[in-house]
Structure 1
Amino acid sequence: MNHVQFFPHFFLFLFFQYQLFFVFSLSPDGLALLSLKSAVDQPHDGSAFSDWNENDSTPCRWSGISCMNVTGNPDPRVVGIAVSAKNLRGYIPSELGSLVYLRRLNLHTNNFYGSIPVQLFNATSLHSIFLYSNNLSGSFPPSICNIPSLRILDLSNNSLSGPIADNLKNCKQLQRLILARNKFSGEIRTGIWPEFENLVQLDLSSNELSGSIPEDIGELKTLSGTLNLSFNHLSGRIPKSLGNLPVTLSFDLRNNNLSGEIPQTGTFSNQGPTAFLNNPRLCGFPLQKSCRNSEQSSPDSPNSAPAYDNNSKKGLSPGLIILISLADAAVIAFIGLVIVYVYWKKNENSNGCSCTGKRKLGSNEKSHLCSFPCINGFKNNDSEVEEPEKSEGAGKGEGELVAIDKGFSFELDELLRASAYVLGKSGLGIVYKVVLGNGVPVAVRRLGEGGEQRYKEFAAEVQAIGKVKHPNVVRLRAYYWAPDEKLLISNFISNGNLANALRVYVVRLGQNGQPSPSLSWSIRLRIAKGTARGLAYLHECSPRKFVHGDIKPSNILLDNDFQPYIADFGLNRLINITGNNPSSSGGLMGAALPYIKSSQTERTNNYRAPEAKIPGSRPTQKWDVYSFGVVLLELITGKSPEPSPSTSTAMEVPDLVRWVRKGFEEENPLSDMVDPSLLQEVHAKKEVLAVFRVALTCNEGDPEIRPRMKTVSENLERI
């Protein structure tokens, strides 16, 4: 009997020992990470931890985990946790503090709640903490500055409360402190800010901070971008010491209770009125509010009662009011009739269709281009971008030329008969310049021959591109669809691209008889600002919030005034839909237009972000930010990160970002890094340094640290 009972218990014991063996075969770092998985409430989206298996010997292959070999340790150690935007709900476990080599903690944009555990700061190798956009509560962690090398602390958009601790001054290595959109209260302490020698970003906005702005914030000489103290309850005068901050810095002091005259020294001279809005008792330039008038109209002034005109009580007679109303109505009716007549005449011949229902493509067939029926002789079109209807069989027979933009109309035969030549050839197709019969040039891009079964997908993508309308983005005007041909017709930009402009200098004699390049500093700054505006629009305001994915000088076109236009956005998706090689021979345009061998050949793209070079990675907006930063460096230095047959080796620096960073670290003279053709423009020195700073923030290796293009554009506009 005893033996019978013994064997089941024995085998059960062996089973548990077997399980424990596999659990404890996992490294200590892996066990600490499993505490994070256990801390997340169930149910949750299991994809975040789907490969976090306790039977593994190491966590280094788990999603979101990065490791590296550390001196003195035979096994790689965990140095990064990136589990962001996974809709996880739970608490942050204190066991993460045992990851002694952890450098980067990224749990942002989830639903973590509770306080930040004090034990977390036992991970003394941390240099970046991203906990923004969660539901964390409690006070500012007092022991956070026990971490000696902390560089970035972003706790924004949580529910943290209480004062900002005095011992924050011990975080001397901080570069970015972002505490916005919390419930921090009390005064901003003095004596903290002189300790920060490397702080480039300070954002305390949208809290409940009160009291005055400390004078010693003016000692933060490394700040760049924006000093943001907006949407608090700060009061008193603005310290004059803020004028000692870097010239390129901008203030955001909106929505406070600040009073008195805005100082007019140093950095204040570069601020716009928006920096000081919604401070009722603030006066002076750049606000349109005189301090003298402010004192006279102050609520505290005994003489501030409103003065009324003696005739103010005399109103207009009822008869005069009726006559004025009738006259207004008659004028409005007349204007309305004129507008209706002009609109009818315009739409009778626009958009490749008319109310007769005939297509303007050299055919008598019913038009598929009119997206709205004719009503009472007028075309009912309220949309700026046409949404052409298409039958299920579209794309299998005759091709369709579809006008996307209002007022843009021409016939297909006219396109094919027009004079044309090749502008460029790349993996995104051949681009032709075509001069229409009315003398208007357009750019025609040939996408390929495939994808005949995916018309609706293609049309939807093209319509999204067509809705993008910005002064610094190339505008799509029409497209052609047929089984053996897909074409995009867009505005032709007359002055080539930035890549060619940087290589070919048009020499002209200046007043002193010396040669000067066409790309002066003011022109380069104009190109940088315009490109940033266009790219910020694509990221933030366009219908699809586009990612370009291939920002480089050859995709930045220039007009005769050197205004930039971003080209080729959205094309990768269209190429995938057509599923064919756009540069192959044959097809409608291949037969009708002459082929000229292009000098633009495919090269290694050194404008891409480091993470973009990982196979299988998908483009992000932060890719574009990095690429734009490289373009900025090329504008300043005149050196290309890509080899070209037309440039000398002295003008090529394959790792341009590293070359510039090394130059600043070694404190090389500015003349060693700036394009020699700009050295005569002495007045631009401060502006050049400011653009260098913007570029290098774009070129941070960590994509989370890079700013949004909107911020980049705002910073450039202030230069």
Structure 2
Amino acid sequence: MMENNLLFLVLDLVLFLHFQVSFRAFSLSPDGLSLLSLKSAVDQSPDSSVFSDWNEDDSTPCRWSGISCMNVSGDPRVVGIALSGKNLHGYIPSELGSLVYLRRLNLHNNNFYGSIPEQLFNATSLHSLFLYSNNLSGSFPPSICNIPRLQNLDLSNNSLAGPIPDELKNCKQLQHLILARNQFDGEIPSGMWSRMDNLLQLDLSSNDFSGSIPEDLGELKTLTGTLNLSFNHLSGKIPKTLGDLPVTVSFDLRSNNLSGSIPQTGSFANQGPTAFLNNPDLCGFPLQKSCGNSERGSPGNPDTKPSYTAPRKGLSAGLIVLISAADAAGVAFIGLIIVYIYWRRKDDSNGCSCTAKRKFGGNQKDLCSFPCMNGQDKNEESEMEEPENSDRSKEEGGLVAIDKGFTFELDELLRASAYVLGKSGLGIVYKVVLGNGIPVAVRRVGEGGEQRYKEFVAEVQAIGRVKHPNIVKLRAYYWAPDEKLLISDFISNGNLASALHGRNGQPSSVLSWSTRLRIAKGTARGLAYLHECSPRKFVHGDIKPSNILLDNDFQPHISDFGLNRLISITGDNPSSSGGLIGGAFSYLKSVQTERTNNYCAPEARTPGGRPTQKWDVYSFGVMVLELLTGKSPELSPNTSTSLEIPDLVRWVRKGFEEAKPLSDLVDPALLQEVHAKKEVLAVFHVALACTESDPELRPRMKTVSESFDRMGS
């Protein structure tokens, strides 16, 4: 009897514990139970803390790490899973498909393996699926487009294989399709791309695709950034229909087996040679490879037949010798003429004097004059100093005007009142008001380099030839053994950094969207001119808001280009207080040095790199993101961290990946301008294209400028 009672007590205890566990399990919401399948599917490591707060005793999973929820009819439902970069090993469980309100699934940068379960696409509310940088295998799931609102799909950097199914044509809402760095093969499907009216990004690079490029890719009218088909096995001719893509689109067709001539219509005119490299049988502009007689002609018309067909037999040796001798004689004759003209001009009694002792703005038009270039009026001339004619300036110190309409003398400059505008590694800048009331900006660039005078003048002349309404104009320069100065226009309304974030603790004025777009447009035009049209095709190398000056109409003016080279020539520290200007100016005061430059492109942060135009494109993109968000990429301990983002580019990219509302990304000051939403989104896409980590994928500034010019018109 005693034994029977003991047995009943044990059974009661077991049943009690069973019901307690069951009660706790059933107390968790269905969404929470589905998420526990993900926890079970991950190979737990002893030190893993990712799921430490995923407690089955909770009623909902809404406070679990990586989980976001929203209320639906009063019930909290899971809408987001963000567990990227957690070094998770495991498989993706099919139970996640039961999360009917799930919108964003971010499991990228982990070590998930196996195939993508078909049942996952029962979560029909999904609009963003980020599974890139895992070890996923298998084929492209045909049922993925059963998700009606899918906008962002990134499966790149996995081991997925097989062809792309025709069912992809049903993903009509897709905006970003990124399948790069997998093992997809077969032909790129045709006949579907014209249906994708919302596609902004297409990246099929680094796969095993073969066959020809589909003609209907040219019907992707909404595409932005780069059409990337590089590192595949594509063959045949490049379809001319790609020229119908928006002019803002860059091509990346590198490392394929494409052949024939590159079309010269539409968007092809904006592509550089990098877009077509490593296609041995490809020819024509912009590659430095002629297409031969059958396709020779003007770059704009590669199909033009040649007017002359060379005979099949080669020229005789004697005829070749005669032709060579005639060529040599012709070159020698032309050389004699050039030398004769040079000495006639040098000995002319009207030869110029470019020393600092004369007044500037005279009427002499001789060796000191340089015609304007690149679309400027060639009759307008600038008076500039030739190094070989300026020994007196070198010895005594000379003030040389670059523009003939700019008239003043050194004594006038020294008598003028001045105060410090700023100080940086590129020298102290003063505002100087001349006797006629005109203010100018005077920059001290160094005290050394007296042995490199001709080199200095050559650099200043090149800078002085740059004439564009969005670039600060250099008006004159001063050279002496112990002092070098640059005199340029004074821009009256401060710089973009102050306009966005205030100065000296004072709040900034609110910049409207139209003003910000005007600043972005003008800066893009100025940079495009420096890159494409300036005499030297300059690289600025230091684009940031503090170098974008604003006038009273908030038109931007790019400053400080070409100065790094001048600083290296003059050698000494330009910020010392001695020398001519240090003694003459009584208003010198200490100023803060600029903060560390965080606008540099990733490749620019490696010591010893040579600046490129793509550096400028990246810096411009960061600056535009700052215009859009109102947040600075610079982190300073002296400022409120609420306005500072350690990596602004990554922060914005993550926001778009997670499909955050625009109100979470844009500057709150712009939220009232609802009419500008489409323009704001378009500018975001341009800025993100400019800040691609791979410099080859960044657009040219000319393309960026054309994109901006089509906005707000």
What TM-score do you get using the length of structure 1 for normalisation?
0.52
Could you list the runs of 5+ residues in structure 1 that have no partner in the other structure? 297-302, 311-418, 425-430, 444-491, 504-518, 533-541, 543-547, 567-591, 597-603, 630-639, 643-652, 665-690
1:140 Cα shift? 0.4
Amino acid at match of 2:523: R
1:23 pairs, out of 22, 25, 28, with 25
State the shift of 1:432 in Å.
9.5
From 57, 60, 78, the equivalent of 1:58 is: 60
CA distance in 2, matches of 1:291, 1:522: 38
Instruction: Confirm whether residue 498 of structure 1 aligns to residue 496 of structure 2.
Output: yes
Alignment partner, residue 221 of structure 1:
221
2:291 is matched with: 291
Answer yes or no: is 1:714 the counterpart of 2:699. Answer: yes
Task: Assess, with a 3 A threshold, how the Cα gap between structure 1 residues 169 and 657 changes in structure 2: closer, same or farther.
Answer: farther
Is contact 2:691–2:698 with CA below 8 Å preserved after alignment? no
Displacement of 1:525: 1.4
Contact map agreement 2:690 2:698 (CA 8 A) in 1: no
For residue 321 of structure 2, what is the aligned residue in structure 1?
none
Residues 148 and 43 of structure 1: is their aligned pair in 2 closer, same or farther, counting only changes over 3 Å? same
How far apart are 1:252 and its partner, in Å?
0.7
2:670 is matched with 654
Given that 1:247 and 1:266 are in contact with CA atoms closer than 8 Å, whether structure 2 keeps it comes out as: yes
Q: Is the 8 A contact 1:156 1:179 kept in 2?
A: yes
- Aligned to 1:143, what secondary structure does the other structure show? helix
Partner of 1:35 in structure 2? 37
Q: Deviations over 1:520-559 (max 9, x none)?
A: 9874214677999xxxxxxxxx9xxxxx9xx8x5685689
Residues 193-212 of structure 1: matches in 2 within 5 Å? 193-212=193-212
Alignment partner of 2:75: what SS?
coil
Amino acid at match of 1:660: A
CA distance in 1, matches of 2:213, 2:81: 36
Q: Tell me by how many angstroms 1:19 deviates.
A: 2.0
1:225 touches 1:249 (CA, 8 Å); kept in 2? yes
- Give, in whole Å, the separation in 2 of the partners of 1:605 and 1:240: 37
Q: Name the residue aligned to 2:152.
A: 152
Kindly indicate whether the alpha-carbon contact (under 8 Å) linking 1:606 and 1:655 is maintained by their aligned counterparts in 2: no
Q: How does 1:264-343 map to 2 (within 5 A)?
A: 264-292=264-292
Change (3 A) 1:606 1:188: closer
C-alpha distance 221-275 of structure 1, shift in aligned 2 (>3 A): same
Give, as a single letter, the amino acid of the residue that structure 2 aligns with 1:655.
L
Cα 1:618–1:290 change in 2 (3 A) is closer
The answer to whether the Cα contact below 8 Å between 2:54 and 2:65 also exists between their aligned partners in 1 is: yes
Give distance in 1, aligned partners of 2:29 and 2:235. 54
2: CA distance between counterparts of 1:198 and 1:305? Answer: 57
Return the offset for 1:60: 0.8
Separation in structure 2 between the aligned mates of residue 208 and residue 196 of structure 1, nearest angstrom: 23
Asked whether the 8 Å contact 1:244–1:267 carries over to 2, the reply is: yes
Structure 1 residues 168 and 641: CA distance shift in structure 2, 3 A: closer
* Deviations, residues 482-534 of structure 1 (Å, cap 9, x unaligned): xxxxxxxxxx998541267899xxxxxxxxxxxxxxx89874214677999xx
Q: Is the 8 A contact 1:433 1:442 kept in 2?
A: no
Contact 2:225 2:686 in 1 (8 A): no
Q: 1:710 to 1:186 in 2, by over 3 A?
A: closer
Q: Secondary structure at 1:258's aligned position in 2?
A: strand
Query: Conserved in 1, the CA contact under 8 Å of 2:212 and 2:235?
Result: yes
Q: What residue number does 1:607 align with?
A: 629
1:493 and 1:558 in contact (8 A); partners too: no
Partner Cα distance (1:285, 1:605) in 2 = 37
Distance 1:657-1:84 versus aligned 2 partners, 3 A rule: farther
Aligned to 2:98: 98
- The alpha-carbon deviation at position 133 of structure 1 amounts to 0.5
The CA distance in 1 between the partners of 2:655 and 2:316, in whole Å, is 58
The Cα shift of 1:659 comes to 4.1
User: Are the counterparts in 2 of residues 608 and 627 from structure 1 also a CA contact under 8 Å?
Assistant: no
Offset of 1:65 from its aligned partner?
Answer: 0.8
**Aligned match of 1:254:** 254
Kindly tell me: are residues 171 and 13 of structure 1, through their superposed partners in 2, closer, same or farther at Cα, counting changes over 3 Å? same
Render the CA deviation track for 1:680-705: whole Å, top value 9, x for unaligned.
xxxxxxxxxxx9665132799xxxx9
Partner of 2:699: helix, strand, or coil?
A: helix
> Structure 1 residues 527 and 607, CA, compared in 2 at 3 Å: closer, same or farther?
farther
CA distance in 1: counterparts of 2:172 and 2:681, whole angstroms: 21
Q: Post-superposition shift, 1:434?
A: 8.6
Q: Does 1:619 align with 2:646?
A: yes
Q: Check if 1:695 corresponds to 2:695.
A: no
1:588-607 alignment runs, 5 A limit: 607=629
Seen in structure 2, the aligned counterparts of structure 1 residues 289 and 49 have a Cα distance that, compared at 3 Å, is same
User: Does structure 2 conserve the Cα–Cα contact (< 8 Å) formed by 1:88 and 1:112?
Assistant: yes
Inter-partner Cα distance in structure 2 for 1:605 and 1:236: 44
Distance across 1 between alignment mates of 2:109 and 2:312? 50
- State the alpha-carbon separation in 1 of the partners of residues 255 and 313 from structure 2: 26
The letter for the 2-side match of 1:160 is L
TM alignment of 1:225-624, pairs within 5 A: 225-292=225-292, 441=444, 496-498=494-496, 523-526=522-525, 553=545, 562-563=557-558, 607-608=629-630, 619-622=646-649
Give yes or no for contact 1:422–1:594 (8 Å, CA) kept in 2. no
**Hey, what's the Cα distance between the residues in 2 that align with 1:147 and 1:274?**
37
Residue 141 of structure 2 aligns to a residue in which SS?
coil
Q: Summarize deviations over 1:432-478 as a string: whole Å, max 9, x none.
A: 9799xxx96599xxxxxxxxxxxxxxxxxxxxxxxxxxxxxxxxxxx
Matching residue's letter, 1:714: P
How many residues align? The count is: 436
The answer as to whether partners of 2:104 and 2:127 remain within 8 angstroms in 1 is yes
- Structure 2's unaligned 5+ residue stretches are 297-310, 319-417, 432-441, 447-487, 502-517, 532-540, 562-587, 593-625, 657-665, 707-713
* Aligned equivalents of 2:223, 2:31: Cα separation in 1: 37
**DSSP 3-state at the match of 2:56:** coil
- 3-state SS of 1:184 partner: strand
Task: Give the equivalent residue in structure 2 for 1:407.
Answer: none
Shift of 1:74: 2.1
Between the aligned partners of 1:41 and 1:94, the Cα distance in structure 2 is: 16
Q: Equivalences for 1:83-122 in 2 at 5 Å?
A: 83-122=83-122
2:629 maps to a residue whose letter is Y
Tell me what 1:79 maps to.
Answer: 79
Question: How big is the shift at 1:26?
Answer: 0.8
Asked whether the 8 Å contact 1:89–1:111 carries over to 2, the reply is yes
- The one-letter amino acid of 2:204's match is L
Greater Cα offset, 156-165 or 268-277: 268-277
The corresponding residue for 2:359 is none
Alignment-derived partner of residue 667 in structure 1: none
Q: What's the counterpart of residue 137 of structure 1?
A: 137
Letter in 2 for 1:620: D
Q: Tell me the SS of whatever aligns to 1:56.
A: coil
Q: Distance in 2 between matches of 1:526 and 1:595?
A: 31
Residues 138 and 160, structure 2, Cα contact 8 Å, conserved in 1: yes
Q: How far did residue 93 of structure 1 move? A: 0.4
SS in 2 for 1:53: coil
Mapped partners of 1:77, 1:493: distance in 2? 60
Partners of 1:555 and 1:47 in 2: CA distance: 46
Partner in structure 2 of residue 127 of structure 1: 127
Corresponding residue number in structure 1 for 2:458? none
C-alpha displacement of 1:171: 0.7
Structure 1 residues 25 and 271, CA gap change in structure 2 (3 angstroms): same
CA contact (8 A) 2:422 2:591 kept: no
Q: 1:42 to 1:628 in 2, by over 3 A?
A: closer
Could you give the per-residue CA deviations for residues 261-312 of structure 1, whole angstroms, max 9, x where no partner exists?
A: 111111111111111111111111111111116999xxxxxx99999999xx
Q: 1:24 to 1:280 in 2, by over 3 A?
A: same
Q: In structure 2, how many angstroms separate the alpha carbons of the residues matched to 1:710 and 1:96?
A: 34
SS at match of 2:81: strand
Query: 1: CA distance between counterparts of 2:254 and 2:157?
Result: 18
The normalised TM-score by structure 2 is: 0.52
Distance, in Å, in 2 between the alignment partners of 1:43 and 1:616 is 38
**Distance of aligned partners of 1:45 and 1:193 in 2 relative to their CA distance in 1, 3 Å threshold:** farther
Tell me the CA shift for residue 619 of structure 1.
Answer: 3.4
- 2:168 corresponds in structure 1 to 168
Cα distance in 1 for partners of 2:524, 2:23 equals 64
Contact 1:609-1:623 within 8 A present in 2 as well: no
